[in-house]
Amino acid sequence: MVLTWYIFRQCFVTLVMTSIAIIGIVWLGQTLRLIELLVNKGALFIDFVNVTMAAIPFWLLIILPISAAIATSIVFSRMQQDKELIAITAAGASPLRIGSGPLLMGGIISVFLILNSAFFIPMTYSYYKTVMANLRAAAPIVILQAGVFTDINKGLTIYINDKESDNVFQDIFIHDNRSKNSTIEIHAEKATVTIGQEEPVIYLFNGIRTEFTDTSEKAVILEFDTYQLNIIENTSATGTRAKDYNEMSISELLFADIGSNQYQKEMRAEGHFRITAPLIGLTLIMMVLMVFMRSRYQRSHYWTQISIITVLTLFTEVALMTARSLTVSIPSLFPLMYAVVLLPLIIGYILIWQPWTGKAETI
């Protein structure tokens, strides 16, 4: 138990540091793409942070398994260089005991990623898509210029006389004929716009609302102190766009019945992928253990070990993605995704814990 905890602790600490480093690199790449939220769409810095944070659960599905393989490789390489593995083996520790720490970490990662895939990804990715859709819908509001009529969307035109800031306007006129049966005109002394997680909304102060309908020759006039106008009419942002795969639960992906046969095939493939992808971390760790233990911890083969681990990691990830693509075309091939994940675990177990005879085996 002490040995298991010792190796597990080293692997886990290295895993955390490696994951933070990779997430940081990915985050910087996303920053360059999402910086337009601050520059062009008038989003607050907190909106930018929320959007990038909401994407992290999706990144973890790919990053954590690779980080686990890297962390296990680093720890076992260090223990090999320090001859700790040789000493532990000489003391009578079995391959099962030596590998139990990394495999325990792999099991924890798999459980976490299953929860992440089933619950966190649909929830956070839906938030991410909602915020992005609302910011795009509100973008024309942000670039309003004084003295210019601006079409915000189909049927909604806004004119402002003065602009105090990106979200605060003076002397505003709005022409709204998005409804087929009526036309609304609004004059107000002041207006503010909210942009972010909720629908973009214009709040107007001290003005007059005039409504013209096809069924009446008289206009309906309303004087107001405060009036709210939704930029996205009648529905929320999430209700006006197609639902992304990553916003669906696994049960929706596997069992939902929709009209499009091709789209349903893609959903089924994504559902099986969301089940198998969390398990690949355990598979990659098993491959790392297989490489190090089959070489019997010989330091002269360090670069060979690292090369083999790199090739196996890339091959497994590519194989899983290929199996997913094949499942879209031929749904009956979905067991390939499970085979990619489970077969290396079985083969690794056989190769690691079979009895060794004679001289140390080398790669």
Lowest mean pLDDT among 72-81, 254-263, 270-279: 254-263
User: H-helix or E-strand containing 87?
Assistant: helix 84-90
Count of the separate structural domains present in the chain: 2
Q: Which of 221, 239, 257 is the last residue of a domain?
A: 239
Residue 272: is its pLDDT beyond 60? yes
Look at residue 177 and tell me if it is in a domain.
yes
The arithmetic mean of pLDDT across residues 359-363, rounded, is: 41
Residue 212 lies in a domain: yes
User: Last residue of a domain, which of 239, 258, 292?
Assistant: 239
Q: pLDDT tier at 199 (50, 70, 90 boundaries)?
A: low
Chosen domain end from 239, 270, 287: 239
Query: Is residue 361 domain-resident?
Result: no
Determine whether 180 is exposed, middle or buried from the number of CB atoms within 10 Å of its CB (0-12, 13-18, 19+). exposed
* Of the candidates 299, 293, 279, the residue with the CA atom closest to the CA atom of residue 340: 279
Tell me what the pLDDT averaged over the chain comes to. Answer: 82
26 and 168 together in one domain: no
Same domain, 129 and 214: no
Shared domain for 341 and 283, answered yes or no, is yes
Q: Is residue 358 part of a domain?
A: no
Average pLDDT over residues 39-51: 67
Q: Is residue 287 part of a domain?
A: yes
pLDDT, tens digit, for every residue of 46-88? 777 777 888 889 889 999 999 999 999 999 998 888 888 888 8
What would the two tokens of residue 339 be? 């085979």
pLDDT for 83 equals 84
Q: Within this chain, do residues 319 and 220 fall inside the same structural domain, yes or no?
A: no
Residues 268 and 231 in one domain: no
Each residue of 322-358: pLDDT tens digit?
Answer: 999 999 999 999 999 999 999 999 988 888 766 443 4
Each residue's pLDDT tens digit, 109-130 = 999 999 999 889 888 888 887 7
pLDDT, average across residues 201-206: 88
122 and 253 both lie in a single domain = yes
Residues 325, 298, single domain; the answer is yes
Determine the 3-state secondary structure of 33 from DSSP: helix
Q: Do residues 94 and 202 both lie within one domain?
A: no
**15 within a domain of the structure (yes/no):** yes
Query: CA-based angle 273:311:329, to the nearest 5?
Result: 30
* Amino acid letter, 297: Y
Q: Between 149 and 186, name the one with better pLDDT.
A: 186
203 and 77 in one domain? no
pLDDT of residue 58: 86
Average pLDDT over residues 160-178: 84
Give the phi and the psi of residue 159 in degrees, each rounded to 5: -130, 135
Residue 102 domain-assigned (yes or no): yes
Residues 133 and 261 in one domain: yes
Residue 22 located in a structural domain: yes
| Predicted confidence (pLDDT) at residue 288 exceeds the cutoff of 80 | yes
Same domain, yes or no, for 20 and 35? Answer: yes
Provide the strand spans (E) within the chain: 149-153, 156-165, 168-176, 182-194, 201-213, 220-230
Tell me: do 160 and 284 sit in the same domain.
no
The boundaries of the domain holding residue 36 are 2-138+248-353
